[in-house]
Amino acid sequence: MYLLNNEDQKMFVDQLRKMVADKVAPRAAEIDEKGEFPWDLKEIFQEMGLLGLSVPEEYSGTNQGHIFTCLAVEEIAVACVSSSLIVQGQSLGWEPILIGGTEEQKAKYGPIVSNGDVIISYGLTEPGAGSDSGAMGSRAVKKGDKYIINGNKCFITNGPVANIITLFAMTDPSQGVKGISAFAVPTNAPGFSVAKVEHKMGIKGSPTGELLFEDVEVPEENLIGQPGKGFIYAMKTLDTSRPVIGAQACGVARGALELAIKYAKERVQFGRPIGNFQGISWMLADMAAEVEAARTLVYQAAQLIDDNNQNKSYLSAASKLVASNVAMKVTTDALQIAGGYGYMKEYPFERMMRDAKITQIYEGTNQIMKLVISRELLK
């Protein structure tokens, strides 16, 4: 278990666990079954200040360090990964503004992101540009004091319910990734539409969509930071967000482990609880050790981000790689321990396994994580 460093962290986690037990856990199965965004939980998170965890206090946020964002996402994901994406997605969408935006932009968007007046999403991926951002087809053309944006984005977390999209588009295609710029695009702008809401294997309560931008006009002031710096902002954002996905992975793994332990103590076969059989007890031991190792790596990476350490890219990718693999293995093993019941929807094991899979894919696939890690090693 990650050792909480101070009383603020301990108090924060205690409050989270009580809230998750009272409000999130009872809703998790229904959220998955209906595939609906949990607006009621969003309001609770809003009241607790969880939507402003990545926003510094000078911009009306509740930021006390990246570790707090990881703690919040992990604790919520223990019960419901979909709900944890409300906090994670808000942090992800805001981060490019924090990294590259002007003081005026931070002062404008910080308060409304932090207090939950808007949901903000991160718009990078396209049908033809997933891991390869240089293949981006979205265009932003400057005309006078405005930019005209055309293109489409896919797999955008919370995109269908977002009020603002942190959008990445080519302003100079001849420069490749150096021609990408970032914009804050309101979704009530004429020409914006949600083309498709995806039907997914897991995280069904977090709407994922394909977004269309057809001659969408935004004022020049909506250009985040400098033109041509969008790719840098995007990659620096992913450095900060990957440990959050690692924390999410640790959360769902922890939740599955705790339920597997409970099941192994209660399920009786051959006259005794199945947890008394070495085959099961050793599975639980391996699962616990793997979760502890992943959590240690995740929070070490989060600390490096808070310290702006030069090794943060390396450890950020490593933490996401390891934690997501642990999440997939532990949820699969937990389902196995529950046997036939684990395969049934009346138990949460199959949902947790489905939800865990996405952590190996978004914020950069685990194959991309290996590229990032190896490049850092070979520098």
Q: Do domains 120-227 and 231-378 have the same CATH topology?
A: no
Q: What is the CATH number of domain 120-227?
A: 2.40.110.10
Residue 266 is among the residues annotated as catalytic for this protein = no
What's the longest Cα–Cα distance across the chain? 80
Neighbours of 149 (CB within 10 A): 25
Read off the pLDDT of residues 4-41 as tens digits, 9 standing for 90 and up. 768 889 999 999 999 999 999 999 999 999 999 999 99
Going from N- to C-terminal start, the domains of the chain cover 7-114, 120-227, 231-378
Please name the CATH architecture into which domain 231-378 falls: Up-down Bundle (1.20)
Q: Which of 7, 74, 363, 376 is catalytic?
A: 363
Read off the pLDDT of residues 245-300 as tens digits, 9 standing for 90 and up. 999 999 999 999 999 999 999 999 999 999 999 999 999 999 999 999 999 999 99
Q: Residue 171 to residues 139, 147, 175, 182: CA-CA distances in angstroms?
A: 6, 9, 9, 9
Q: Can you give the pLDDT at residue 130?
A: 78
Read off the pLDDT of residues 149-187 as tens digits, 9 standing for 90 and up. 999 999 999 999 999 999 999 999 999 999 999 999 999
Please, are residues 155 and 198 in contact by the beta-carbon 8 Å criterion?
A: yes
Rounded Cα distance between 233 and 275, Å, is 49
Neighbours of 211 (CB within 10 A): 26
Q: What is the CATH number of domain 7-114?
A: 1.10.540.10
Find all residues with CB under 8 Å of 238, minimum gap 6, and list them. 316, 363, 364
